[in-house]
Amino acid sequence: MTIHAVLIVLTAAFLHALWNAVVKGAPDKAIILGLVSFGHAIPAMFVLPFLGLPVWSAFPFVIASTLIHWVYYWFLNTAYTHGDLSVVYPISRGMTPFLVAIGALFLAGEFLPAVAWIGIICISVGIGCLSLAGLGRQTNWIAIAAAFGTGLMITSYSLVDGIGIRMSENTLGYIAVLFVAEIFVAGFIFSTRWQRLVELPRRYVWAGLAGGVISGLAYGLVLYAKTIAPLGVVSALRESSVIFASAIGIFWFGEGPRWNRLLAASIVAVGVILLAIAR
């Protein structure tokens, strides 16, 4: 994997952890997720006319990804309503690298070198340790179950979009269409919770919209990386975001215990380095 691709995915990882922190810190997480979706769609509507459309054979992947994201947001809202950022985030992301790598092997015929597999396993183990480090007597098992559901949805849309963007013949057009489609997610959330949107303090509205722009940029970078690097490697490297999420959870939200989580994050960092040097 080239340094260029590594830097792109690491940037996306930081941005992804940042917008999840925005959701976790909001008083009404469902409305914030609607604003995030809206923050995806509006900029994409303006740029789509200049980018053009992907080939029609890519649209089933856009539709499938949109539906999966819908379920993903539901699980994410439930998880963050009941659990800590530094517990929910690692669980939801920890299962993804290995599952995406296996899926890419069978669906896209991607064969990874041994060093890459070691890096992926290292990242998954580190994230698993990070998850366990955050568990305790007060752990809410609804949050844990929702986090696992979130992870399955992440795996699903990662594979769908990874294959879809490769056959789109228009990388930026595919990304724009995918984000425009999220207007339906935002519309559903707002139509059933309009009064809650009106009552939400303006600073959280702006934070949600900013989170959408940040999230869109993060996922756009990941999708671009999937056109120049193996799906499994990109997915695993993206999960270095748990290092950022762990730091945010500890130092921003005051979550603990601290040292167990930082040690587990260091294991993830080793896996990231292995992926960076894998050829």
- pLDDT greater than 90 at residue 53: yes
Highest mean pLDDT out of 97-111, 168-182, 243-257, 262-276? 168-182
Query: What's the structural domain count of the chain?
Result: 1
Q: What is the mean pLDDT of residues 151-160?
A: 89
- Per-residue pLDDT of 114-153, as tens digits, reads 877 787 777 777 776 766 655 554 567 788 889 889 989 9
Residue 253 confidence (pLDDT) above 80? no
Question: What single-letter amino acid sits at 164?
Answer: G
Burial class (CB in 10 A: 0-12, 13-18, 19+), 27: exposed
Q: What is the mean pLDDT of the chain?
A: 81
Give pLDDT, residue 218: 87
Strand stretches in the chain, DSSP E: none
Q: Token pair of 131, please? A: 């998850």
**Alpha-carbon 28 to chain mean position:** 20
Residue whose pair of structure tokens reads 């649209």 in the numeric block: 59
Residues 6+ apart with CB under 8 A from 14: 241, 244
Q: Taking CA 139 as the corner, what is the angle to CA 137 and CA 144, rounded to the nearest 5 degrees?
A: 145
In terms of residue numbers, what domain contains 38? 3-277
Higher pLDDT, 74 or 277: 74
Alpha-carbon span 41 to 157, nearest angstrom: 17
pLDDT score recorded for residue 64: 95
Which residue is listed with tokens 């979130």? 150
Q: DSSP code of 136?
A: -
- Is 260 or 118 the better-scoring residue by pLDDT? 118
Q: In this structure, which amino acid lies at residue 9?
A: V
* 3-state class (DSSP) for residue 239: coil
Three-state secondary structure call for residue 90:
helix
pLDDT digits (tens, 9 = 90+) for 67-96: 999 899 899 888 888 887 767 777 777 777
Q: What is the pTM of this model?
A: 0.76
Please indicate whether residue 167 or residue 122 has the higher confidence score (pLDDT): 167
The distance of Cα 128 from the centroid of its chain, to the nearest Å, equals: 17
Residue (of 224, 240, 223) closest to 276 by Cα position:
240
For residues 112 and 258, the model is more confident at 112
Highest averaged pLDDT of the listed ranges 9-13, 108-112, 115-119, 272-276: 9-13
